[in-house]
Chain A
Amino acid sequence: MNDLVWKPAAELARLIRAKEVSPVEVDEAHLARIAALDGTLRTYITVTGDAALAAARRAEASVMAGETLGPLHGVPVALKDLYCTRGVKTTGGSRILADWVPSEDATVVSRLADAGAVVLGKLNMHEFAYGPEGLNPHYGTPWNPWDATTHRICGGSSSGSGAAVAAALCAGALGSDTGGSIRIPASLCGISGLKPTYGRVSRAGVLPLAWSLDHVGPMCRTAADCALMLGAMAGYDPRDPTTSVLPVPDYMAALTGSVKGLRIGLLGPFFMESAGETERRAVLQAVKTLEGLGASVQEVELQTVKLAAAAASAVVAVEAYAYHETWLRKRPEEYSADVRERLRLGAFVSGADYVNGQRARLLIRDEVDAAFGRLDVLVAPTTPIAAAPVGAGDVEIGGERQPLRPSLIRFTRPFNVTGHPAASVPCGVTSEGLPIGLQIVGRPFDEATVLRLADAYQRATDWHTRRPPAAG
């Protein structure tokens, strides 16, 4: 297999700009790899090989002509299949939209194209993004590349994005995150992922799960690549009225390698004490590493995060039901049973419960903001457990059986509720060799500090450079 596919996006962009490799060579290598591995991994729903090669040839011509090149020029990326793509079907991982071909691109898709990225295709996901395991009965559940023998979940809902990046079937991907759907697959697939602040990146042209909780962001093998992609995507968009007009900083310039003086809050009981022992130890070791790099660490306890589950459940149930109501009445049989049932739940949540969910969000947000008065970032495990086998309904955490689904989103969902930026980077492996994720949360619109810490950690460790056994 061509080793080019394992190079970070930033390195590929540099090599292409320097005419050391051709975008055609890079994209052909990725497409060959998809052809070889994706029959098993099931990460793509649609591969746009011909269009990708045509774009790569145009990118090559631009390089040779000495034209001004975007920061992602020639870099192969892939999109969770809920980003609208003009002329390319966008299924949302569903049968309902199996043949839907949008007439325009999502804003972020246009922005990635403007930055020179080459889109390889559309990635598998939990149906309509409604599930943290990343299962999909319609297109096949993606296989977590960290276990070559047991079919394990990739985490969701951006399961195809997580597995495709981990297995080097693209250099970077877009995910979306309503309760953890970027960070959970990043954690379970051993890659880096960033959920930006609510309002930092446009959601226009992205199929919603719950408008007020949905975030879109990059998933890559390194934090630096997430910074590169975020810089190309972020910023005000008149098509999404919730986007901020705050200027977009140079995220790559923020990656100084230094965390000296940064004040880290290690999130206490709700997070650390309900994580598995191996996950807890890995996070404590990561914190020790960061301390060794010059950051200071103190424990912090957030009292109101225990309300996040109820708040998020009320909001997601009602917003998702509102979006799906007509289809649920007219075409219910086209949903998988599990997703259909949970969508229907929203019909029985009252308006008062929905508003109470939104009221609770403000309480939680205020407490998190108060913590940021004395701290620069917060850290915790991304998930309490590593990747479970497909079909597992519950898992053992700290000697007790716990239901899988709420366990997976327990640590990530609070920051969808509050809107703070949050990343996940690999920080260890279990005894079975499965990745563990470190979650890093920042102040609103301070993705730069989150990425700086994540990048500095990756300069000091090698967890993000390991290759999964099922990735050839």
Chain B
Amino acid sequence: MESLTLDELRALARVQGLDLTEPELARLLPLVQAARSMMETLRDVLPRDAEPGSQYRVL
């Protein structure tokens, strides 16, 4: 996945209805980049037949 740019983050924030200042966007960018990169690892390792599960055998 390509790294997100500041311009792209600004556009995404606007779509989300978030009114962020330039300093706020600049602080957020590395967090978003790191999160996207971490989550990309899941895409690479999850078997196709792995299903979501959110709670333990509730009986």
Q: Do A and B bind each other?
A: yes
Q: Which residues of A contact B18 (CB under 8 A)?
A: 328-329, 344, 347
| Given A310-B38, A313-B39, A345-B32: A363 in contact with B55 (beta carbons within 8 A) | no
Chain B 5-49: CB-based contact to A (< 8 A → 1; otherwise 0): 000010011001111100010011001100110110111011100
With beta carbons under 8 angstroms apart, the residue of A197, A307, A315, A341 that contacts B56 is A197
Nearest 3 A/B pairs, CB to CB: A358-B52, A419-B56, A362-B53
A77 in the interface (beta carbon within 8 A): no
Measured in the bound complex, the distance between the Cα atoms of B52 and A361 in whole Å is 7
Tell me whether A243 and B56 are in contact (CB under 8 A). Answer: no
Q: How many whole Å from B18's CB to the nearest CB in chain A? A: 6
Q: How far is the CB of A387 from chain B (nearest CB, A)?
A: 25
Which chain A residues lie closer than 8 Å to B47 at the CB level? 363
Of the 9-residue stretches A52-60, A135-143, A159-167, A349-357, which lies at the interface with chain B? Answer: A349-357
Question: Could you tell me the distance between the alpha carbons of A341 and B4 in the complex, rounded to whole angstroms?
Answer: 17
Contact present for B17 and A329 (CB under 8 Å) = yes
B51 at the interface (CB under 8 A from A): yes
Q: Which residues of B contact A311 (CB under 8 A)?
A: 42
User: Residues of B at under 8 Å CB distance from A?
Assistant: 4, 9, 12-13, 16-20, 24, 27-28, 31-32, 35-36, 38-39, 41-43, 45-47, 50-59
- Residue numbers in B under 8 Å from A239 (CB-CB): none
Q: List 16 A-B contacts (CB under 8 A).
A: A244-B58, A245-B59, A311-B42, A317-B35, A329-B17, A329-B19, A345-B31, A348-B4, A349-B35, A356-B42, A358-B52, A359-B42, A360-B45, A361-B54, A363-B47, A365-B56
Query: Once the chains bind, are B39 and A348 in contact (CB under 8 Å)?
Result: no
Question: Given the complex, which residues of A lie within 8 Å of B13, measured CB to CB?
Answer: 347
B58–A363 CB distance below 8 A: no
Known: A348-B12, A359-B50. 19 other contacts (CB 8 A): A197-B56, A199-B55, A199-B56, A311-B42, A313-B39, A314-B39, A317-B35, A329-B19, A341-B31, A344-B20, A345-B31, A345-B35, A347-B13, A349-B36, A357-B39, A359-B51, A360-B45, A361-B52, A419-B56
Q: How far is the CB of A408 from chain B (nearest CB, A)?
A: 17
**Which residue from chain A places its CB closest to the CB of B12 in the assembled complex?**
A348
A244 lies within 8 A of B59 (CB): yes
Residue A296 CB within 8 A of the other chain:
no
Residue of A nearest to B33 (CB): A348
Of A349, A358, A420, which is within 8 A of B53 by CB? A358
Q: Report chain A residues within 8 Å CB of B17.
A: 329
Chain A residues with CB under 8 A of B54: 212, 315, 358, 361
A1 at the interface (CB under 8 A from B): no
CB closest residue in chain A, given B39 = A353
Decide: A444 near B57, CB < 8 A? Known: A307-B45, A317-B35: yes
User: How far is B13's CA from A311's CA once the two chains are assembled, in angstroms?
Assistant: 23
| A360 with B57: CB separation less than 8 A | no
Complex CA gap A244/B56 in Å reads 9
Q: Is the Cβ of A344 less than 8 Å from the Cβ of B50?
A: no
What chain B residues lie within 8 Å of A197 (beta carbons)?
Answer: 56
Q: Is B9 touching A349 in the complex (CB atoms < 8 A)?
A: no
Q: Is the CB of B42 within 8 A of A361?
A: no
Q: How far is the CA of A315 from the CA of B38 in the complex (A)?
A: 13
Nearest A residue to B8 via CB reads A348
